[in-house]
Every structure is written in structure tokens, then in C-alpha cells.
Amino acid sequence: MTHPLGQRTIRDFGEQWTKYTDNHGYYASIDLLRDVFGPLLEVEDLIGCRVAEIGAGTGRFVRLLVDAGASFVLAVEPSAAVEVLKRNTRDLDRVRYLHAPGDRIPPTGEFDFVLAIGVLHHVPDPGPILVAAWHALRPGGTVGIWLYGKESNALYLCMLSAVVAITRRLPHGLLAAFVWLTYWPVAAYMHACRLLPLPMAAYMRNVFFRFDRQTRKLVLYDQMNPAYAKYYVAAEARDLLERAGFIDVRLYHRHGYSWSVTGRRPQDA
């Protein structure tokens, strides 16, 4: 049974992704997919592969996986946003859907890749999801996850914790208004990061700056909305995969603020 806090987080994201349904620009580009995994995963490696995405949301990465050449994509989404997901990807004949939590992915051993991008840090107990991913992968298959990172983010996390203590309780309309007010000082900070070595400057320059204004506000909303979010240190990120039985675990400190992690199901397992 899903943790009560996890159930609330699913509801939060169901509301978020039924309000913000559009994916466009750099936010929905192959270049962003390359950026997420950096040296750990080449987009070309997806060509002809069977891929499952856990926490598919509005279908942003589902479309990118198909565009990258995946032969089949299973889009797993537990929230009410599954209807948006289906609508946004209805023209893709290589996609199938599973309206269920990530630990319900079928243990078929057929997938070349199982990906969870920006998902597991919102799950209080992600272990069962990774065990399910292990069983869904073929021997030698790869799991790839992207997590919030704790290293180098002390100042940001201090400020964020004070803010989310309030914003997590706000209904959608008030939170959207708060994000609108917050956007302007954040935008000023973003421009300052282009000139000064400020905290999170690499992310601001290389990712946030490339989004349009609408998408930047969505990113802020996404930070302030969920009921649960954990920021991982490197050892915790590695341990997530190793405890689930994955080997050859590799980490990439993406722009110095988050962790991309891959691991492999053993060939003889």
C-alpha cells in the first residue's frame, strides 16, 4: 500500500499536471534529455529499445523517448494526470499506458531501460519501485534515475524549507499567485548568475535560462507544490540502486545541483 504521504504527493501532482499540460521549447527537447543523463546515457542508445518511464506525468519524456527512436514505451503514471498523458501522446502508436504506482510495473523482464526522471525524490520509500524496475528489466538492462541533490545546495534548501512550509498548504490558485510574485526576484537572480559564481549558477545558466517565462514559473510551482521531496547526497543515491540489486552503478553530478544515476541488472540474474 502506498505511504499516506506518497498518496498525497500523487494527488498533488495529479492536480499540477492537469493544470499545466503543455510541453514546449527546451523543456521538451532532446537536448534536455541529453543534459539530464550527461555522460551516463547516450540518447542514441535508446534506438530500437523497449523503455518504461515511471512517473510519466504529462508525457514530456514519453515523446522524447519515441523521438529518440525507442521501439516501445510503457508510460507509468499513478495520478489523475494519466488522462493528460494519454491526450498528449495519443498520436504515438509505440506507447502503452499503466495507470498505477511505479512498484506495479509488470515483472516481465522485457525492458532494455527503465527510467524515473524527477520522480523518486518525491516517494517516501522508493525501494519497492527500484525492485520492481529490476524485475521489469531484461538481464543486462539499465535503470536510470534523476534525483534532487543535497550537495552544494545548503543556502537554497534553507530558503526553500521556509517557503514550502507555507506553499504546500496553499490551494492551486493561491500557489500560482505566489509563484507569479516569486518569479521576478528569481529571474533577477538568474541573470546575476550569468555574471557571478553564485549558488546554482551552472543550473541557472545552462538550464533555467533556456526555458521561457511560462516554463520557469512551472519549475517554481513544481518546487513549492509537492507534499514530499528529499534531497539526496551521493552515497544515498548510489545506495538506492545497489540495495535493489543493481551493479555498475554510476553517478553524474548534473550542474553541481542534482544526481543522475544509472545501474545495470546483472546478466546472470
pLDDT at 199: 87
Cα-to-chain-centroid distance, residue 244? 19
Residue 3 has pLDDT above 90, yes or no: no
Between 3.40.50.970, 3.20.20.370, 3.40.50.150, 3.40.50.10950, what CATH number should domain 4-150+230-264 receive? 3.40.50.150
Cell of 269: 540474474
Residue-wise pLDDT tens digits, 121-174: 999 999 999 999 999 999 999 999 999 999 988 888 888 888 999 999 999 999
Residue 62 has pLDDT above 80, yes or no: yes
Integer Cα distance of 149 and 128 in angstroms = 21
Indicate the length of the chain as a whole number.
269
- Report the relative pairing of strands 258-264 and 137-148 from DSSP bridges: antiparallel
Residue-wise pLDDT tens digits, 95-125: 999 999 999 999 999 999 999 999 999 999 9
Contact yes or no for 102/54 (Cβ under 8 A): yes
Using alpha carbons, select from 51, 70, 58, 68 the residue that is nearest to residue 23. Answer: 58
The whole-number average pLDDT for the span 77-94 is 96
pLDDT at 2: 62
Other C-beta atoms closer than 10 Å to the C-beta of 212 total 12
Using alpha carbons, select from 34, 64, 66, 35 the residue that is nearest to residue 48. Answer: 66
Contact yes or no for 23/88 (Cβ under 8 A): yes
H runs (alpha helix) in 42-96? 60-67, 82-88
Half-sphere exposure of 233 (CA within 13 A, CB side): 2
Contacts of 8 (CB under 8 A, 6+ apart): 227, 228
Q: Domain boundaries in the chain?
A: 4-150+230-264, 154-224
Q: What is the 3-state secondary structure (H, E, C) of 64-119?
A: HHHHCCCCEEEEECCCCCHHHHHHHCCCCCCEEEECCCHHHCCCCCCEEEEEEECC
Report which residue type is found at 174: L
pTM: 0.95
Euclidean distance between the first and final Cα of the chain, in Å? 27
Residue 224 has pLDDT above 60, yes or no: yes
Tracing cell 527503465 back to the chain, one arrives at: 114
Contact yes or no for 95/67 (Cβ under 8 A): no
Q: In what order do the strands lie in the sheet with 258-264?
A: 95-98, 72-76, 50-54, 111-117, 137-148, 258-264, 247-254
The whole-number average pLDDT for the span 186-215 is 95
pLDDT at 1: 47
Residue 225 has pLDDT above 90, yes or no: yes
Name the percent of the chain lying above pLDDT 90.
Answer: 89
Integer Cα distance of 65 and 47 in angstroms = 9
